[in-house]
Structure 1
Amino acid sequence: MTQSAIAVIGAGMIGAAHAFGYKVNIDRFSSRLDRLRLKTVCDGNGELAASMAASWGFETVAADWKDVLDDPEIGIVSICLPNFLHAEVTLAALAAGKHVICEKPLALDATTAGNIYAASKAASTVSATVFNYRRIPAVAAIQRLIGNGEIGDLVNALVQYESEYAADPDLPHSWRYERDRAGPGALLDLGTHAVDVARFLCGEVEEIAGAIATISVKQRFLPAGASIGHNHVELSTESRPVDNDDVMSALLRFRNGCQGTFLASRVAVGMGNSLTIAITGTKGAVRYSSRLPAQYEIARFDGSGQSPFAIVANSPALPFARLLPVPHDGVAIGYAEVFGFMIHEFLDAIAKGEPMTNGSILDGLRASEILDAIQQAADTNQPTTVKHAAA
């Protein structure tokens, strides 16, 4: 039987989100997963690993992810590394017989994501891609009502992810600004979430009718020392060019006939970290903003020429409410709590011995295929068909 000790590989800001997700769920699964516990934090930065281990109650730290995969007690692994390391470590974790959940993007390109998907099908363990925005109760509720036909046939969709983290030209250069290591910039880093939400709500994307990429901050100075996440640090006098996009926009055609407008920006001044959704159907429309996380809005066509939006607040009837400490009408849902919902689904799949279906490796592959097509459309200034590998 696969052991149930947990390791988080990567002690940056997103690694802490995974640690939180496990921490709030361990007692819920203690009777279903033997000796489930936080075992190891792994990071090349020993000080960072030790700090995260102390904060969340991990037993040990490691500097090399290969040592984590060699540990026979560790059966559950979260991969929270820079984009260019996701594929290598995920493939190795699957080969080592671990249950694995990998941060988005699954890979830098669809070909590599396809290799991971093939490995996941051959493995006997549970595997998943991190698509936490599917677990926002309002977003999950919108998906349910669209599936029930409550707004009719889908006509058009707007999905955009706008962040401000790279708007400051004085932030240091890092792997995020190098196409060789990060892949596309805002498109891959943020657009992966927007693309997955678009698929989750509106179905498969068949074509990219057009796309435009922009690099607005064309070079950045290297940090004088170590840097974490999007933090300001002392800068050196040496600079590097930015060679991946700060902004990417695209027009999408969905298989069901719906058309879509997509935007990913990491230089959206004033937007903080915002996911915006607006979907119109033949019977109504829905919209959601992560800036108002405790609600979504719905308008139903009534033939009057004016169909006002009504606010639907979070309530115990919405998805995931049973996992909340305060499942009360209108109480906002935090970013970390959504990670808790995701980890709960992951651990539940492990306990049941069933595949992860809501944010699977296949979902990661499908997102990669769409992202590749958006990048190709931007590079060629031509419409691009999304190439879907066989499932």
Structure 2
Amino acid sequence: EVLPSVRVRGTTGSAVLGYTTDEVTIDGVTHGLGRTDLLENLLAHRSRGDALLVPLVSTGAFVEVLEAVRATEPVQIDHPWVTWDGEGPARRPLVTDVEAVVDRAADQGALFSEVGAPWAHADRDEVLDELVVDGVPVASVLDGAGTIPTSSPRPYLHPVRTLGGTVVSAHHPPDHDWHCGVGFAIPDLDGVNCWGGRTYVHGEGYVWRDDHGSATVVHAEHHGPSLRQEVVWRDPDDHVALHEDRALAWRAVDTGWELTWSSSFRVPGDAVVRLGGPGSNGRVGAGYGGFTWRFPPCADIAVRTATASGEDAVHGSVAPWVEWSAVFEGVGATIRFEALDHDDPWFVRAAEYPAIGSALAWRTPTLVHPGVPLVRSFRATVSDK
């Protein structure tokens, strides 16, 4: 068993503190230490005026280190490098070779990615464009490079904000790392997982497979309040599986601002391409895949169409529009979605996690034929409540 320790290196020497064994090794010599309970010292300071062993003024360097660590957004470690030990509350993740990697990083004063950790995802999202309405930035267009391979990297919008500044999108949430802001994702693109996470297999459930694809922007044109992107979807071997011509437009409206999203899909050859997901592969009620909006944590959720209200009633329904209202970090906002050229069912999650989308393959796969683009267009109105 590897015991936890803290390493300190300075200009005149180095030390290793075993903070569960109360031993410190300085330049190769180990000393046993006693332990003073800092909480007891704090209570004695308050009750009797004892001097603090760790006065506030001496904690500045520690806090600066914490702030430096916090300044870098964490990235989930990809599943091939993590195993799980134990059951129930005692279950814990084990990262491959983590002790040796930490030792190398400490010895060299380097990042995990710089000492060859296979699980250190060093890429970060690049901002490809910004959506601005009346001088207010309302959304960033990200390339998805910061997404780990098994979360199916792809371009998306995040953060998306109301004109009042309320953030109404989330990316890489702890419950589903592959949920990325506002965008398109396809769980089953001719057998390629371009959604992320485990793949649904009828009769087996969700299983890890080496079947994750990706999508990248290969060309873009920005003209005023509109953006056109050529997106290429690829399989795990980097072969082109699908082409997408994506068009975004945005403008101010009376209630806030409006986003129009249109995706036109083309096959790369002369064969039909099948777009599916758990719903079309046998999981009833799980027809997610297509245009998806993941919300950050929110409260007082109200979701409705013209004829239905609540998650259970709206989920799986076909309606020209659906509206999501909620309170985000104490501020209310409403997002109204409209289906412009199709009648796909709406996919809704509120109790388990907050998200809404349009199901591309609710029960059966959608086919893209050579020479016949498949188009899905939406309008979203984002309003301060």
TM-score (norm 2): 0.21
Q: Which has the higher helix share?
A: 1
More strand by share: 2
Structure of greater Rg: 2
